[in-house]
Structure 1
C-alpha cells in the first residue's frame, strides 16, 4: 500500500519511477567515459615541462610528423566508412526479404565481428602477405614479384573494411526494415520501375539512417590502432593519431602531450560527425516534407 502511495505521489510530481532504471547506466557512463575525458582534457593543459598551458597543442601543430597523423587517420577512416556504407546498401536491400538460406548468409556476413581486429590482421598477413595464398596465385599467373598488400595503407584499409562492414550491414538492414514496403508497392502500381522506386522512395527514406551508419563506421575506423601496427606501416604511411598518442604517452613518458593528441582525435571525430549529422537533418526534413 505504501509503495502504491509513493508511486502515486511521484506520478503527481511528474516523476516516473522507471527512470530510476537509468541510474546504473548513467553512473557507468560517468565513470568510464565522462571522467576519463575530463581528466585527459585537463591533463592536456599541463605541459610536461610547465609553462604555457597550450604548449602541447602548439607542439602538435608545429611538428609535421605529428600533424600529418590527422590526414593519415582521415585518409583511412573516411574511405573505410564510405566503402562499408556503400557496400551494405545493395546487400541489405537484397537480403531484406524472406528466402531460403537467409540466416546462413547473414551469419556469414557478420562473422568478422567475432574475429576481432588482431585475428583479422593475422588472417590478412597469412592470405595477402608476400608468401600468402594470394601472392602464390598471383605469381603463378606470371607476376614477376608479389603484390604489396600488407604492411602499408592497403593492408589497414582491408582490415577496417572487413571488421567494419558487419556493423554497417546490420544497421542498414535495421533501417531498411523500418521502411513501409507498401510505399514501393504503390509506386509499382503507378508504373515506376525498380530503379525508380529505389531512387525516389527507398533511398531518400534510407539516407538519414545511412548518415548515422556512416558516423558510427567512421568513429570505429578513425580509432584504428592494432591493424595499423600489424598490417600497416606504423612509422610511415599508417602512423595514425592513436599510435602517436600511444608512443608519446608510453614511449616518451609524456602523458600530457599524449592526452592532447587524444583530445584532438575526439575533436576531429566530433567535427566530422557534426557535419554528417547536420546533413542528416537536412535529409530527414526533405524525406518528411519538412515536418518534424
Structure 2
C-alpha cells in the first residue's frame, strides 16, 4: 500500500499569531495573574480569605447592588430609547446626518468632560435648575448632582450614543420591503414591528444591551465626580480602587475585580439565555 504524502500545513495560519499574542499579553495573562493573586491574601489566611472578607464586610458587598441599581436602569433606558430614535433616522434625509452626528458627539467627549459639563449645567445653581425654577415648574431646590440621579444621567448621556449606533446599524440592515409586503396584507405599524422588525432586531438588541450593561457596570469617574462615592453611589469599582490605592492591598483589589467580572458574566449570560425564550428563528432578513 502506497502511503500518501503528508499535506503541507497552510502557512496562512501563522497570520493569526500576532493577534493571538496580543490577546494573550493584554487579556488572558492579566486575568490569570489577577485570579491567582486573589487567592493569595496579603495578610495570610486561607485561599478564600479575600472572598470571605468581601462578602462579610458591609462596606463592600453592597457595592454590587449599588452598581446594579445604576447599570440596569441605564441599560434599559439607553437601549429602549435608541430603538425609536434609530427607526426615525433609518431613512436618508437632509437632517439624518446632522441628527446622527449630534447624537454621537458625547462619545468623543469622554466621561470626565461630560461630568464636568454636568456639574455646571445640573448643579443647584446651574442653568437647568434655574430654568426649572424660573418657569415655576418646581419651586424647591433641584438637586441632580452628587447623588444617584447625577450618575444615572451621566451613564445615559455617555452610553446612549453607543447603543444608538449599534441599534441604527441593525435597523438599517433590515430589508424595508418585508414591512411593505406585510402592509399590503393589512398589517398595521405595530404588527409590522412586532412580527417583522422585533424578531430580526432581537439578536442585535440583546448584544447591544450586553455591551451597554458592561459599559455601565464599570462606571467610575461619574460615580466619583457626580455622585457620593462614600454614600449612595459607592460602586464596586470604587471599592476596588480604595483597596488598591488606599490600602495597597492588591490581592483584595484583584478579588473585587474578579467578582466584578463574574457579576457581569452572570448578567450577560442571563440576557443571552433569555433571548432564546422569545425568539429561536433565523436572524437573517437584511438587505442582502
Using the size of structure 2 for normalisation, the TM-score is 0.92
1:140 shift after superposition: 2.1
Question: Which residue of 1 is the match for residue 179 of structure 2?
Answer: 184
State how far apart, in whole Å, the 2-side matches of 1:90 and 1:278 are. 25
Question: Which residue of 2 is the match for residue 29 of structure 1?
Answer: 23
1:284 shift after superposition: 4.6
Question: Which residue of 2 is the match for residue 270 of structure 1?
Answer: 265
* 1:226–1:83 CA distance, 2 compared to 1 (3 A): same
* 1:22–1:61 CA distance, 2 compared to 1 (3 A): same
Question: Which residue of 2 is the match for residue 236 of structure 1?
Answer: 231
State how far apart, in whole Å, the 1-side matches of 2:42 and 2:11 are. 48
Q: SS where residue 224 of structure 1 aligns?
A: coil
Q: What are the Cα deviations for residues 20-61 of structure 1, in whole angstroms up to 9, with x where unaligned?
A: 333222222111111111111010011111111100000000
Q: What are the Cα deviations for residues 231-281 of structure 1, in whole angstroms up to 9, with x where unaligned?
A: 001011110000000001110111111110000000000000011111234
User: Does the Cα contact within 8 Å between 1:74 and 1:222 map onto a contact in 2?
Assistant: yes
Map 1:199-238 onto structure 2 (within 5 A): 199-238=194-233
Q: Match for 2:274 among 253, 276, 279?
A: 279
* 1:283–1:177 CA distance, 2 compared to 1 (3 A): farther
How many equivalent residue pairs?
279
Q: Match for 1:75 among 69, 75, 90?
A: 69
* 1:126–1:184 CA distance, 2 compared to 1 (3 A): same
Q: SS where residue 274 of structure 1 aligns?
A: helix
Q: SS where residue 265 of structure 2 aligns?
A: helix
Q: SS where residue 61 of structure 2 aligns?
A: helix
State how far apart, in whole Å, the 2-side matches of 1:14 and 1:279 are. 42
Q: What are the Cα deviations for residues 75-112 of structure 1, in whole angstroms up to 9, with x where unaligned?
A: 11111111000000001011111111211111001111
Deviates more, 1:262-271 or 1:137-146: 137-146
State how far apart, in whole Å, the 1-side matches of 2:211 and 2:112 are. 20
User: Does the Cα contact within 8 Å between 2:203 and 2:283 map onto a contact in 1?
Assistant: no
User: Does the Cα contact within 8 Å between 1:208 and 1:281 map onto a contact in 2?
Assistant: no
Map 1:61-72 onto structure 2 (within 5 A): 61-72=55-66
Q: Match for 1:248 among 236, 243, 264?
A: 243
In structure 2, stretches of 5+ residues that fail to align are none
Question: Which residue of 1 is the match for residue 119 of structure 2?
Answer: 125
Q: Match for 2:88 among 83, 86, 94?
A: 94
State how far apart, in whole Å, the 1-side matches of 2:283 and 2:254 are. 42
User: Does the Cα contact within 8 Å between 1:81 and 1:221 map onto a contact in 2?
Assistant: yes
Deviates more, 1:253-262 or 1:131-140: 131-140
Q: Match for 1:175 among 170, 175, 178?
A: 170
In structure 1, stretches of 5+ residues that fail to align are 1-8
User: Does the Cα contact within 8 Å between 1:150 and 1:231 map onto a contact in 2?
Assistant: yes
1:287 shift after superposition: 5.2
Using the size of structure 1 for normalisation, the TM-score is 0.91
User: Does the Cα contact within 8 Å between 1:60 and 1:66 map onto a contact in 2?
Assistant: yes
Whichever structure has more helix as a proportion of its residues is 1
Question: Which residue of 2 is the match for residue 3 of structure 1?
Answer: none
